[in-house]
């Protein structure tokens, strides 16, 4: 590989609203780990929440960013054999760093492992480079990686988490099938990923629900495959869904909006024997009791169905969808920022109503 500098820049979350750009030494790589040169990292809603002080998965201070793609710069022989990759290969890295021995890991629910994950692991744990808002990322032996084939732009590949989550939430959690009516609440990246998941499931009708201020996002949802869009602050959503479905309502509902109010909306649009996938914690507007219920559903994966990430098996399918080019995924990517401007990437969504997905790209021009 080409020569690498001895240090890297990284964006460190120190506290609510406090982000520092710091320099870190690059680690020595042994038999069982590696070093990734980051190409692109998407800004997740949980990053934005952590920046504003709600950080259930974050040990501060930490290097942020967990939805990332890059090329392997260095790798030990044991790690290369275990992951089936070599130096120069492009990979995506899941956010989880599962221990493999706790009760959740042994049950196959590694997303629930209590070990702090990428984008939220303290910089005081050596070597500190556990986040994608950086030039380089440390590949821990417990990493879960997936090789990426082809030359799809990195700015599109970083969408693998919203899309794989959408596939899993719609098809496995909400149990949408060929001919189902699917309602998706929240037109952010993960809600749009769920629209793609519904189309891939063979849904007959896909209804995307947002707010009037989400008009640009809802338009993108139509381009990605939604049949109808509704605005809950303008439309009587339950009546509209009843009209669309002939009174049958939705067979599958994905609530990807972080508001307690939308938990009530999810029940309102669900039909008999429907399944609801609850994604957000309900941290926005609404009843505090509903917010507490949502957090229990998500973190403990209790039926009605709480979801937390995806199984590894969903990621290759998402990568194939991205590589296929059959969806206009570039419409989801609304801003590119260098590491030095990570704070702008985190706040873009609150200042620009058309923003959907910011991306941190080392060496990019200013956003």
**Which pLDDT score is estimated for 263?**
86
Residues with pLDDT less than 50, the chain: 1, 302-303
**Which pLDDT score is estimated for 304?**
63
**Which pLDDT score is estimated for 104?**
94
CATH topology of domain 162-300: Rossmann fold (3.40.50)
DSSP 243-269: HHHTT--EEEEEE-S--HHHHHHHHHH
**Which pLDDT score is estimated for 302?**
45
Extents of the domains making up the chain: 7-159+333-360, 162-300
**Which pLDDT score is estimated for 62?**
98
As a whole number of angstroms, the distance between CA 76 and CA 92 comes to: 18
DSSP tag of 172: I
b/e 16-32 (16+ beta carbons within 10 angstroms → b): eeebebbebebbebeeb
**Which pLDDT score is estimated for 283?**
64
**Which pLDDT score is estimated for 303?**
47
CATH level 2 (architecture), domain 7-159+333-360: Alpha-Beta Complex (3.90)
As a whole number of angstroms, the distance between CA 166 and CA 321 comes to: 12
Do 7-159+333-360 and 162-300 share a fold? Answer: no
**Which pLDDT score is estimated for 291?**
62
DSSP tag of 170: I
């Amino acid at each position: 590989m080409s020569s690498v500098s001895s240090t890297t820049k990284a964006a460190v979350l120190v506290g609510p609203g406090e982000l520092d750009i710091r320099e870190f030494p690059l680690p020595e790589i042994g038999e069982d780990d590696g070093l990734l040169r980051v190409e692109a990292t998407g800004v997740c809603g949980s990053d934005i929440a952590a920046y504003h002080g709600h950080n259930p998965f974050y040990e501060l201070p930490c290097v942020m960013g967990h939805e990332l793609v890059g090329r392997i710069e260095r790798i030990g022989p044991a790690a290369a054999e275990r992951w089936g990759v070599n130096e120069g290969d492009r990979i995506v890295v899941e956010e989880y760093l599962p221990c493999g021995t706790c009760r959740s890991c042994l049950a196959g629910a590694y997303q629930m492992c209590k070990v702090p994950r990428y984008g939220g692991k303290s910089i005081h744990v050596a070597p500190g480079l556990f986040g994608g808002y950086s030039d380089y990322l440390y590949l821990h032996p417990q990493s879960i990686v997936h090789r990426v084939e082809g030359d799809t732009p990195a700015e599109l590949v970083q969408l693998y988490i919203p899309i794989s989550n959408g596939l899993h939430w719609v098809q496995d959690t909400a149990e949408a099938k060929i001919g189902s009516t699917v309602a998706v609440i929240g037109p952010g990246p993960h809600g749009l990923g769920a629209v793609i998941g519904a189309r891939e499931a063979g849904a007959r009708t896909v209804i995307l629900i947002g707010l009037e201020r989400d008009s640009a996002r809802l338009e993108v949802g139509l381009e990605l495959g939604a049949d109808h869009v509704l605005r809950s602050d303008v439309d009587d959503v339950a009546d509209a869904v009843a009209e669309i479905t002939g009174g049958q309502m939705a067979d599958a509902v994905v609530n990807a909006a972080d508001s307690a109010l939308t938990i009530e909306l999810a029940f309102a649009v669900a039909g008999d024997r429907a399944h609801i996938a609850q994604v957000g914690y309900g941290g926005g507007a609404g009843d505090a009791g509903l917010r507490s219920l949502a957090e229990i559903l998500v973190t403990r994966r209790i039926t009605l169905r709480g979801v937390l990430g995806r199984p590894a098996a969903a990621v290759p399918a998402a990568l194939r969808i991205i590589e296929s080019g059959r969806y206009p995924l570039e419409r989801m990517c609304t801003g590119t920022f260098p590491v030095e401007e990570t704070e702008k990437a985190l706040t873009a969504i609150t200042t620009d109503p058309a923003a959907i997905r910011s991306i941190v790209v080392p060496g990019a021009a200013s956003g």
